Amino acid sequence: MELAEIQPQLFKQFSKILQGEKLSHAYLFSGGFGSFELAIWLSQALFCQSPQNHLPCGHCRPCRLVAQQEFTDLHLVEPEGQMIKTAQIRELTQVFSESGYEGKQQVVLIRDAEKMHPNAANALLKSIEEPETQIVVFLLTNNENMILETIKSRTQVIHFAKNVSYLQGFLEQKGLLKTQAELLAQICHSPDEALEIGQQNWFNEGLQKLQHLVKLLQKSGDEAFLYLREVVELFDDKEKQSIAFELLLQLFNQEKMSPEILKTFQAIKMWKSNVRFESSLNFIVL
C-alpha cells in the first residue's frame, strides 16, 4: 500500500516538514488509517543512509530494517494483552537518556496508546517533557478521548481521516465481494484490519445471516426472533459480536430503518454493560 494513496494530504504535509527539517519530537496520530505506515515512513527518513531531498530511499539497510520493525534504534511498544503496562514504559527510560546504537537518533513508536495504564502514561509524560537525547515519539491511537490531556498538550495531534473509497477498492482488489468491501470499508479503521476480518471464514457466513435477519425484520418480528439463535451461534466471542453490531448499524442504515438503528445503539450499551449478546439482540427484534 502506497502511503501517498492512503493519506495523500498528510503525505504531502510531512514531506514538506522533512524537507524543512522541522519534525517535532512528539506526535499523537489519531485514527488508524495510515497512521502506522506514516510513522514507519518518518522513522525511515530519520535513519536513512541515502535520503533523497530528505525523504527516505526505502532501499538502504536502515530503511529495510525499519520497515520490518527490526532496526535497533526503533523501539516499538504494543499492548501486552489488553494493556500497555507501566513496566513496558519504564523500560524506555534508558532509551530516553542514552544515544542510539547506530547514531544519535532514536524513535519510540507506541501503538494503541489509549491502552496505556495511567501510571504508564504518567511515566511517559516525564520523558516527553524532558528528552535528554535526540528522540522522536509517535503515539498511535484509535480513541483520542482516552489519551491523557497532559500528554495531548505536549504532542502535536494529527488526525487521520478514513479514505473509504480507497479502502473499498483495496478490498475488492484482494478478492472480496463488493457488498463485503463496502461494509468493511465503513466499519474498519485500517486496510489491514479490514482485510483480516474479510478473509476469515466466519465473516461471509455471518454477514449473510445478518442480511437475512434484516430482511426478516422488515417482514415479521416473530420470524426474526426465531432466527436469532442461528445468528448468536456464529458470533461466539466479544470481537465477533462487536463486528456484528457494527454491521447491523450499516445494514439498517442502508435500508433506512431508523427505529432499528436507535434500538441497536441501545443494545450496544446493554452489551457493553455485560448484558448477554443474545439478550441484546432480542431487544432490537422485539
Q: Which residues contact 116 (CB under 8 A, 6 or more apart)?
A: 83, 84, 89, 110, 124
What confidence score (pLDDT) does residue 132 get? Answer: 67
d(CA 155, CA 157): 6
CA distance to 182, 233, 272, per residue, from 172 (Å): 9, 28, 32
What confidence score (pLDDT) does residue 32 get? Answer: 79
> Whole-model pTM above 0.75?
yes
The DSSP bridge partners found for residue 170 are none
Length, in residues, of the chain: 286
| 74-77, strands of its sheet edge to edge | 74-77, 106-110, 135-141, 26-30, 156-159
Burial 79-94 (b: 16+ CB within 10 A, else e): beeeebbbebbeebee
Q: Which residues contact 160 (CB under 8 A, 6 or more apart)?
A: 7, 10, 29, 30, 31, 32, 33, 34, 35, 38
What confidence score (pLDDT) does residue 253 get? Answer: 94
Fold of 3-161: Rossmann fold (3.40.50)
Q: Quote helix, strand, coil % in the chain, to nearest 5.
A: 60, 10, 30
d(CA 98, CA 88): 17
- Provide the residue ranges of all domains of the chain, joining segments of one domain with +: 3-161, 200-285
pLDDT tens, per residue, the chain with 286 residues: 578 888 999 999 999 999 999 999 999 999 878 899 999 999 999 999 999 999 999 999 999 999 999 999 999 999 998 899 999 988 887 787 777 788 888 999 999 999 998 888 888 887 787 766 788 999 999 889 999 899 999 999 999 988 899 999 999 999 999 999 999 999 998 888 899 999 999 999 999 999 999 999 998 878 999 999 999 999 999 999 999 999 999 999 999 999 999 999 999 999 999 999 999 999 999 8
What confidence score (pLDDT) does residue 127 get? Answer: 79
What confidence score (pLDDT) does residue 221 get? Answer: 77
Q: Which residues contact 274 (CB under 8 A, 6 or more apart)?
A: none
Q: Is the distance from CB of 214 to CB of 248 less than 8 angstroms?
A: yes
